[in-house]
């Protein structure tokens, strides 16, 4: 069914109706009674003019005409000027609500970005997302390598045979070739796996250092506490004001709540990598030591990637919240 486009007269009437309906009961009562009284005085004044009743009563004429004019003017003032005043007051409330929301959103965004290296917010969020992606990819590679290395170990974590336990570099050529003292089969493969595990640990270390501020357990706990405080301040101060003004709240608050919960779960856990050296005792490599260290790191990676993802989500959602509130102004 085709909708009819409203005409100018229809729009004016609908606007007047909206103004009338927005007035209080008392104002509507005055708006009904005073024009009737004004109409009665106007009619009487015309009749008295025609019958020459007024005569020399000039003061009474002026008084009657003034009262009649007031009966028409007062409802206009109460209805239309009152409506304009309320409209301006509502606009001022909306401006105040958006300004407060933007300020608290900026504070919330600043507190979330404190986890990362200083920079432009958009660049920081991009670096965090890149860190999250690259770290997860490195973690998956470590998991595969660890699975392969486990094939050469006993249930207690030790090397399956003595030949696998120790090997060293080729000191003569000073290359990265790996040779076993006995030349047993499979040693080159084990050495390559352990070397790659060590490399992945270095990659993960560099990734974190490139994008995230160095934080211990106490610093992480303090950062999460600041972020939670700013989020609660944003909800407490901005959300009720926006609701009164009819403005929508941010679309994904549950993402922020979930990220904060995840950070609380893993913040107190071990964050630092378990450092291990490939070579010990004059260039020899210890299979059990390296493999156990890799196992510890890979087990902790589950918490690390959860922490990185939650921190990245917070940074992203904080920027989206600020943009949302800026779009309301």
Write out the two tokens for 222. 């303090």
State the pLDDT at residue 77: 80
State the pLDDT at residue 75: 82
With CA atoms as reference, report the closest residue to 139 among 304, 313, 311.
304
Query: 260 Cβ partners below 8 Å, 6+ apart?
Result: 224, 227, 228, 231, 310, 314
Containing H/E element for 163?
Answer: helix 162-165
Written in H, E and C, the secondary structure of 22-64 is: HCCHHHHHHHHHHHHHHHHHHHHHHHHHHCCCCCCCHHHHHHH
- CB contact at 8 A, 27 and 79: yes
Write out the two tokens for 172. 């003569």
State the pLDDT at residue 8: 58
Tell me, rounded to whole angstroms, the distance of Cα 143 from its chain centroid: 32
- Rounded to 5 degrees, φ, ψ at 156 are -85, 0
- How far is residue 238's CA from residue 233's CA, in Å, rounded to a whole number? 8
State the pLDDT at residue 9: 60
State the pLDDT at residue 183: 40
- CB contact at 8 A, 303 and 79: no
Over the chain (329 residues), the average pLDDT of each successive run of 10 is: 56 70 76 82 82 75 83 81 80 90 93 90 90 92 86 64 46 37 52 82 87 84 92 93 90 91 80 60 63 80 88 92 90
């Amino acid at each position: 069914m085709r909708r009819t486009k409203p005409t100018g007269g229809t729009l004016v009437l609908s606007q007047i109706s909206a103004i009338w309906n927005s007035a209080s009961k008392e104002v509507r009562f005055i708006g009904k009674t005073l024009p009737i009284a004004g109409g009665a005085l106007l009619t009487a004044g015309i009749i008295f003019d025609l019958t020459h009743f007024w005569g020399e009563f000039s003061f009474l004429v002026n008084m009657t005409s003034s009262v009649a004019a007031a009966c028409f003017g007062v409802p206009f003032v109460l209805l239309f000027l009152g409506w304009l005043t309320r409209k301006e007051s509502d606009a001022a409330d909306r401006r105040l609500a958006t300004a407060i929301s933007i300020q608290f959103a900026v504070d919330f965004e600043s507190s979330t970005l404190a986890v990362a290296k200083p920079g432009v917010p958009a660049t920081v969020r991009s670096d965090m997302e890149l860190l999250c992606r690259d770290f997860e990819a490195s973690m998956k590679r470590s998991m595969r390598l660890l699975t392969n290395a486990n094939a050469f170990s006993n249930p207690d974590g030790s090397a399956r045979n003595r030949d696998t336990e120790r090997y060293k570099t080729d000191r003569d050529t000073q290359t990265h070739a790996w040779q076993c003292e006995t030349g047993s089969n499979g040693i080159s493969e084990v050495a390559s796996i352990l070397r790659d595990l060590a490399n992945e640990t270095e990659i993960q270390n560099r990734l974190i250092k490139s994008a995230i501020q160095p934080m211990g357990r106490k610093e992480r706990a303090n950062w999460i506490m600041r972020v939670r405080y700013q989020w609660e301040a944003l909800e407490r101060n901005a959300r009720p004001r926006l609701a009164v003004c009819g403005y929508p709240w941010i679309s994904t608050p549950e993402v922020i709540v979930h990220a904060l919960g995840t950070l609380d779960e893993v913040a107190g856990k071990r964050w630092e990598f378990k450092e291990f050296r490939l070579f010990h005792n004059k260039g020899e490599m210890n299979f059990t030591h390296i493999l156990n260290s890799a196992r510890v790191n890979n087990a902790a990676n589950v918490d690390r990637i959860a922490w990185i993802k939650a921190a990245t989500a917070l940074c992203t959602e904080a920027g989206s919240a600020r943009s949302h509130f800026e779009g309301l102004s």
